[in-house]
Copies of this chain bind each other. A is one copy, B any other.
Amino acid sequence: MPVEGSCLDPAIPVLNKIRVTENIHIGRNVLPQLKAVLQNLAFSKVAVLVDENTLHHCYPQVKPYLPAHDIIQIQSGEAHKTLQTCEYIWQRMTELNLDRWSVLVNLGGGVIGDMGGFCAATFKRGLYFVQVPTTLLAQVDASVGGKTGIDFHGLKNHIGVYKEPKAVIIDPGFLSTLPQRQLKSGYAEIIKHWLIADAAAFEEQRHIGLFTEDWDALIRHSVGIKSAVVEADPLEGGYRKVLNFGHTVGHAVESYLMEQPGRELLHGEAIAVGMLCEAYLSVKKELLTRRELDQIETFLVSIYEKVKLTEEDIQSMAKLALQDKKNTHTTINCTLLQGIGKAVWDQPVTLAEIQEALRYYQLL
């Protein structure tokens, strides 16, 4: 797999070096570094945010490397990524007398990382936090890039701030306890990173098929792409928007189905739908060839089960896409592919086109 990627138009900031930033530690034997990381912060107190799953499966592996600490436990699942849960976390932080020199260790998937990061960033105007992502999705996406937040009235990550964790500790060993469905969800973001920044890696991987056994290398490469993009544009002034490929439609699909009991999708599953729709739109805008779309389609369909959509679903999802954070005024701004391995952002798309793309997906 190439470690250098340079498939972007010179007119936009060049991703000339795929590299993992210094505060991110990746590997099978990386948990002991937590001890040194915390010591370097000269912390006053440590609290660990967990849910019932990570308390059971992951906490025992992390505990040996933690100093004296308290535990804050919340319920797992996107449905709990709310202001109400934040209120509970802030309340517990208050009871534990955490101060500005305390550290919150977020041990879990994207929900724990995003919400724990937001609570840490806003408690007494900000205390330290360290991400220990335990799902593939959180390891290759949520834990990197400083986006924190919660859902609000059904809108994904509607309330939040940009704040970098003091460190990210990524142990692929956690993936061994992860259900297959969760692995596939995280894999969608890995595929996205190839599609937006590394055509060679996509070409190599689409022939290997579903999974690798070498998660370490896959994660390192994927985090490297995301780190490099974020470093070039931390606050999403422009270039960082390449990471939104698949997310305009994907978020709408995810938000809509979240409210439909029994139809909820995992984030990556929704992003897979979104990537197919937005690759379709890329062809429609003559940015991507039909042949490239076919490659993407074949690869994604081999991994992700088809989501059944009614015409009513499609109408509602398209409307939700209008509310997306990435939009200006009343245009829907989409990140599209200009060939595999290169993304262009702020591409105006109409409500009707979003519907058309979802209908294309429905007919796959």
Contacts and interface: CB of A to CB of B under 8 A. Distances in A.
Interface stretch (A86-94, A129-137, A262-270, A292-300): A86-94
A171 to B, nearest CB: 28
A80 to B, nearest CB: 17
A105 interface: no
A291 interface: no
A193 interface: no
Which of A44, A121, A158 is the most central at the interface, judged by chain B CB atoms within 10 Å of its CB?
A158
A68 B217 CA distance: 53
B158 A124 contact: yes
A287 interface: no
A350 interface: no
Interface in A25-53: 44-45
A110 to B, nearest CB: 15
Given A83-B87, A94-B158, A152-B94, A328 B44 contact: yes
Given A97-B323, A100-B325, A329-B44, A122 B153 contact: no
Contact of A125 (B83, B124, B155, B161): B161
Interface string A88-124: 0011001001011100000000000000000001111
A269 to B, nearest CB: 24
Interface in A148-204: 149, 152-153, 155, 157-162
A87 B87 CA distance: 12
A147 interface: yes
B161 A161 contact: yes
Given A87-B83, A90-B152, A149-B125, A327 B158 contact: no
Nearest to A162: B125
Contacts of A90: 152, 158-159
A126 B328 contact: no
A147 B83 CA distance: 21
Nearest to A83: B87
Contacts of A91: 153
A90 to B, nearest CB: 6
Which of A90, A99, A149, A155 is the most central at the interface, judged by chain B CB atoms within 10 Å of its CB?
A99
A256 to B, nearest CB: 16
B121 A161 contact: yes
The 10 closest A-B pairs by CB, nearest first: A124-B325, A125-B160, A44-B329, A122-B159, A122-B161, A101-B328, A161-B161, A44-B328, A125-B162, A99-B327
22 contacts: A44-B329, A45-B329, A83-B83, A90-B152, A91-B153, A94-B323, A97-B323, A99-B328, A100-B325, A100-B328, A121-B161, A122-B159, A122-B160, A123-B158, A124-B158, A124-B159, A124-B160, A124-B325, A125-B147, A125-B160, A126-B161, A161-B161
